[in-house]
Structure 1
Amino acid sequence: MESLDLSKFPKIELPRFLKIKQNFEKDRVENIELEVADKVRQSIKNMDLKGKRIAVGVGSRGVANIAKMAKTVVDCLKGAGAEPFIIPAMGSHGGATPEGQAGILASYGITEEAMGVKVDASVDVEPIGEYEPGLTVYVAKSALEADGVVIIPRIKPHTCFRGRVESGACKMLVIGLGKQRGADSVHSKGFERFHELIPGVGCMIAKRIKLLFAVSTVENAYDDTYKITILTKDEILGLEKEEALLEESRKRMAQILIPKFDVLIIGEIGKNISGDGQDPNVTGLYFTKCASGGPEFKKCVILDVTDESHGNTNGVGMADVTTRKLFDKIDFISMYTNCFTSTEIEPAKIPMVARNTEDAVRIAVKLCNGIKSKQHKIVWIKNTMELGKILVSEPLLPEVEKNPKLEILTGPKEIEFEKGEPVDIW
């Protein structure tokens, strides 16, 4: 395919940029292994686990310290005489194949060699009944056949719906352990019903499998582990404790502290960052009407995709402009499998493709009508997980100066591009 050659058009001027720091609360767990070990050992001290096969469910998101937590959980179970093994709990991700899902875990450092146990990446499922007429519930055979199941979810606001519980233990049971077929079954009802289906189907699965507990994590605004909490089976069924952790997570989330501007530039998207590639709770780029919030802007640029996404650029469709660099990395089958399962295809649409980063930024600026040259208000972030330092254009300086949570790190200067890519902007 070809992209526009901007040299054939009048030059599009860009404003100068300055680097700023966004300040959020930094509380974190200092010793992950010790914290997890203490809580898990306390939870299993009265359980007879000798010789029992325990499935440890690990998801596809870029959860902070996930390899440390998974290894510690495995070691604690071994110490109690159990025979743990790891299963991917990630729905249709990884192209819904065993190889793809094992590959995602490996990219996080979760391999048989590193964990010292088998990774069973089978995507085989069995139906366990109907939640309601027409909604069959599926669960991974590996989880159903295990003598016990432990999951390691991150609790946070979901990107597509609002409810008592959103992303967390219940969702990992429903979507994660449901594999592609289970995820597809629930998604077929639409995000409009997720506020009832995630807790409802989640509790149904929790009752059916031999669920021991969830090692649940909440992260701070810097995507580091803020809190680790054990949710017992009864607490998962009760919902209240997960609901409280969700609200705590919502308060701790990072955000763009500038509410209104013209152009948002996202350096990279990825499945390890968010199910939508970027977190709409940060950007406001929701593809459903079941959730809202975030800043207001006119145009969006998405520049690249993380290596950990393995070509799944789900979410690029929310941009107005992207780059050849991202386009050339797309694994369409992986991305389409994800969207086909979720029944939402807008995230897989292809925006206007620019030759490089410089052209993508200039095109987005050109698309904003009614603004004088070099006066565009632009926010440039690395991704929605790294919001401590961001770039803003000079016209936003007055707003930055009056916000006590924002700190100016560098004075305004023009961005230097070399072969269309920015030089040393971070």
Structure 2
Amino acid sequence: MGILQELVGDIPIPQVAKVKQYFDNQQIDDFTTALSNRLYVKKIENQVQPGMEIAVAVGSRGLDKLVEMTKLTIDFLKDQGAKPFIVPCMGSHGGATGPGQKAVLEHLGIREEVVGAEIRSSMEVVKIDELENGLPIYVDKLASEADGIVVINRVKPHTAFRGPFESGIMKMISIGLGKQKGAEACHQLGFKHMAEHVPAMGKIILDKMPILFAVATVENAFDKVAVLDVLLPEEIEDKEPVLQEQAKQSLPQIMFDKIDVLIIDEIGKNISGDGMDPNITGRYPTPYAYGGPDVTKMVVLDLTEETEGNANGVGTADFTTQRLVDKMDREATYANGLTSTVVGPTHISTAMPNDKTAVQAAIKTCNILHFEKARVVRIKNTLEIGEIEVSETMLDDVEQHQGIEKQTDFYTWEFDEKGNFIN
């Protein structure tokens, strides 16, 4: 037994129970019909002329209905006689390489044989203008040479700043379409100015590039499409802030104000740009965003397969596991910090030998007198918080909250011979 195991070996882990959190589950049942009804209308059809070569900008997030949304959009463009192709629209993700960004889309199910359009992936950009403060504005070269551009994205609160345009269409245009250089430029003066720079850059690109329309969704607390719209370029500035407010109202949450230890089984870029959504954890990479629970110590245990070693966000936690560190692709992870200028989330938090010691370390350091009374919450990831586990001390909170229901009796976590969770 090593010194780390010795230091935490006697720390008790409280019993837990599964509880269910209830959120509004309103969603669009027939997505195909809903999107078709918004695409096949005169104002959108008039944007497309036969023979136009059109770049369809698709991002790196795991959006609900992303494959269907992309295929339906491509089918619509073909029906108008256009020649669509896909460009990855994801800033520096995918290791900031062309093949890497194509691989990200393919992992999300966006493949030529599935959606019916070629993926043309390059990191080459063109500078089209600059802001008054001198920040350059870049656009994907392949998209800039197309006859038209269509943008697909979900609108939701950002994880590092607040404003009328956060994570949505404007950000997709200003940062996603700008590839690594565009993302770097938009982030250069820090998140303090992002609420200003994102729409400023986006408006110039809208003015100078042939953006035809945008497909925008808002997801409910269960990450299912609840709101859908197709926006003309001149509608984006007015309508996206409305969608942003709807997204904030739909945001899921951990329904406890105070948590001593928050355990997150997995993080990854397919879950959030920050690996885990700070809007859920209450842990933000910058001082320019806020909300969520007060968490004393946070533990992340593993990476998702889809993140391909990108461990951005692990530095936001206090503890992790050697297993996660061993899976970490440092180049892909550090590229995020170098592009966003926020390097804290790419740091490696204190790595313990296994799940059990990581949990014990968090309890040991959460600054309470009686460790067995620690307020502990465990979630799978920040996308799946409908059913979570909570410790015995939190039973009063559960019973007093109308949106939470206890599902099981209290039980003791089981660990395998390596010290990792069995369930």
**TM-score with structure 2 setting the length:** 0.97
Q: Deviation per CA, 1:295-349: give whole Å up to 9, x if none.
A: 0121000111111111110010011110111111111111111110001110011
In 2, Cα distance between the equivalents of 1:281 and 1:273? 12
In 1, Cα distance between the equivalents of 2:8 and 2:32? 57
Q: Deviation per CA, 1:61-119: give whole Å up to 9, x if none.
A: 11111011101111111111110001100000001101110011001110112122110
2:170 is equivalent to residue 175 of structure 1: no
In 2, Cα distance between the equivalents of 1:48 and 1:22? 45
In 2, Cα distance between the equivalents of 1:81 and 1:226? 30
2:72 is equivalent to residue 72 of structure 1: yes
Conserved 8 A contact 1:3-1:354: no
Q: What residue number does 1:22 align with?
A: 21
In 2, Cα distance between the equivalents of 1:44 and 1:160? 33
Q: What residue number does 2:299 align with?
A: 301
Number of residue pairs matched? 421
In 1, Cα distance between the equivalents of 2:305 and 2:8? 34
Q: What residue number does 2:256 align with?
A: 258
Q: What residue number does 1:35 align with?
A: 34
2:212 is equivalent to residue 212 of structure 1: yes
2:356 is equivalent to residue 358 of structure 1: yes
Letter in 2 for 1:52: M
Report the Cα offset of residue 45 of structure 1: 2.6
Report the Cα offset of residue 47 of structure 1: 3.7
Moved segments of 4+, more than 6 Å: none
Report the Cα offset of residue 294 of structure 1: 0.9
In 2, Cα distance between the equivalents of 1:10 and 1:135? 53
Q: Deviation per CA, 1:254-306: give whole Å up to 9, x if none.
A: 00001112011111111111111111111111111111111012100011111
Name the % identity.
45
Q: What residue number does 1:274 align with?
A: 272
In 2, Cα distance between the equivalents of 1:161 and 1:68? 30
In 2, Cα distance between the equivalents of 1:98 and 1:9? 45
Letter in 2 for 1:322: T
Secondary structure of the equivalent of 1:422? Answer: coil
Q: What residue number does 1:153 align with?
A: 153
Conserved 8 A contact 2:213-2:230: yes
Q: 1:121 to 1:414 in 2, by over 3 A?
A: same
Secondary structure of the equivalent of 1:160? Answer: coil
Stretch of structure 1 that moved more, 352-361 or 171-180: 352-361
In 2, Cα distance between the equivalents of 1:199 and 1:215? 17
Secondary structure of the equivalent of 1:174? Answer: helix
Secondary structure of the equivalent of 1:339? Answer: helix
Q: What residue number does 1:330 align with?
A: 328
Letter in 1 for 2:143: A
Q: What residue number does 1:86 align with?
A: 86
Stretch of structure 1 that moved more, 8-17 or 26-35: 8-17
Letter in 2 for 1:357: D
Secondary structure of the equivalent of 2:371? Answer: coil
2:201 is equivalent to residue 201 of structure 1: yes
In 2, Cα distance between the equivalents of 1:335 and 1:105? 18
Secondary structure of the equivalent of 1:12? Answer: coil
2:415 is equivalent to residue 417 of structure 1: yes
Report the Cα offset of residue 415 of structure 1: 0.8
Report the Cα offset of residue 48 of structure 1: 4.4
Q: What residue number does 2:5 align with?
A: 6
* 1:333-352 correspondence runs (5 A): 333-352=331-350
Conserved 8 A contact 1:262-1:368: yes
Q: Deviation per CA, 1:160-205: give whole Å up to 9, x if none.
A: 1111111111000011000000111111011111111111110101
Conserved 8 A contact 1:4-1:355: no
Conserved 8 A contact 2:8-2:360: no
Conserved 8 A contact 1:3-1:353: no
In 2, Cα distance between the equivalents of 1:48 and 1:422? 53
Q: 1:320 to 1:3 in 2, by over 3 A?
A: farther
2:152 is equivalent to residue 144 of structure 1: no
Q: What residue number does 2:113 align with?
A: 113
Q: What residue number does 2:314 align with?
A: 316
Gaps of 5+ in 2: none
2:336 is equivalent to residue 368 of structure 1: no
In 2, Cα distance between the equivalents of 1:24 and 1:216? 22
Q: What residue number does 1:390 align with?
A: 388
Q: 1:186 to 1:8 in 2, by over 3 A?
A: closer
Report the Cα offset of residue 49 of structure 1: 2.1
Report the Cα offset of residue 423 of structure 1: 2.3
Report the Cα offset of residue 11 of structure 1: 1.5
Q: What residue number does 1:60 align with?
A: 60
Letter in 2 for 1:71: K
Report the Cα offset of residue 10 of structure 1: 4.8
Conserved 8 A contact 1:51-1:82: yes
Gaps of 5+ in 1: none
The root-mean-square deviation of aligned C-alpha atoms, in Å, is 1.4
Secondary structure of the equivalent of 1:152? Answer: strand
In 2, Cα distance between the equivalents of 1:172 and 1:370? 43
Letter in 2 for 1:143: A
In 1, Cα distance between the equivalents of 2:127 and 2:415? 55
Q: 1:3 to 1:323 in 2, by over 3 A?
A: farther
Conserved 8 A contact 1:3-1:355: no
Conserved 8 A contact 1:19-1:389: yes
Q: What residue number does 1:46 align with?
A: 46
Letter in 2 for 1:140: D
